[in-house]
Amino acid sequence: MTATAAPPARNGVDVPTLFATIDAVRENPGLADTQFRARNTWISGTHNRSEIQGFYGAGQEDTSRTVPFVYDADHPEVFVGTGKAPAPVEFLLHAIAACLTAGLANIAAARGIDLRRVTSTVEGDLSLLKSLGVSDEGRNGYEQIRVHFEIEGDASEEQLRELVEQSRRRSAVYDVLTNGTDVTIDTTVR
């Protein structure tokens, strides 16, 4: 009897576990139902802090994160903040870049493509006229977001471009930003 070692990770992705996860979800689609959560606390002015720790996924409450991830948000000083952290809208730029990059790495690994370098630049344009109450025209949020990737890997230009396209098609953050999501707000006053 000869033991065979599992293939090494490709691009830092455990490919056998990736495919096992996909197979498990195919067999039991309920495993795909996930709920992420964040808790936010106001500090002062426009400065606030979110903690992200537990979530529900793969059919159970996940408790593997023993310490929360902590993220501060603030507005720049020019917009009446203290500039102690990125503005909330800047986190959206990080979220789209991070989601597309993670998806790209997984897809490349699944397709047997080794990546050498992946970088992206994300820009978002918005006007503060409506947010500041100066005008009722336009939107409060981004009018356009642009993502530019630079990729080096052991595949053709066409294959590398297809990684980005497939990641875009599968990205939860891209979907939220381009299709909108129902957001409900309720309030408890004490």
Domain ranges for the chain: 33-86, 87-180
pLDDT value at 150 more than 90: yes
157-171 residue pLDDT tens: 999 999 999 999 999
CA-to-CA distance for 58 and 72, rounded, in angstroms?
A: 29
CA-to-CA distance for 20 and 27, rounded, in angstroms?
A: 11
Q: What are the C-alpha distances in Å from 27 to residues 21, 23, 171?
A: 10, 6, 22
**Residues 47, 82: contact at Cβ < 8 Å?**
yes
Confidence of residue 153 (pLDDT cuts 50, 70, 90): very high
Q: What is the pLDDT of residue 20?
A: 87
| Residue 103 structure tokens | 């998806």
Instruction: Give the single-character DSSP code of 12.
Output: T
Task: Choose the CATH number for 87-180 among 3.30.300.20, 3.40.50.720, 3.20.20.150, 3.30.300.30.
Answer: 3.30.300.20
Rg from Cα positions in the chain: 20
Q: What is the mean pLDDT of the chain?
A: 92
45-63 residue pLDDT tens: 999 999 999 999 999 999 9
pLDDT value at 88 more than 90: yes
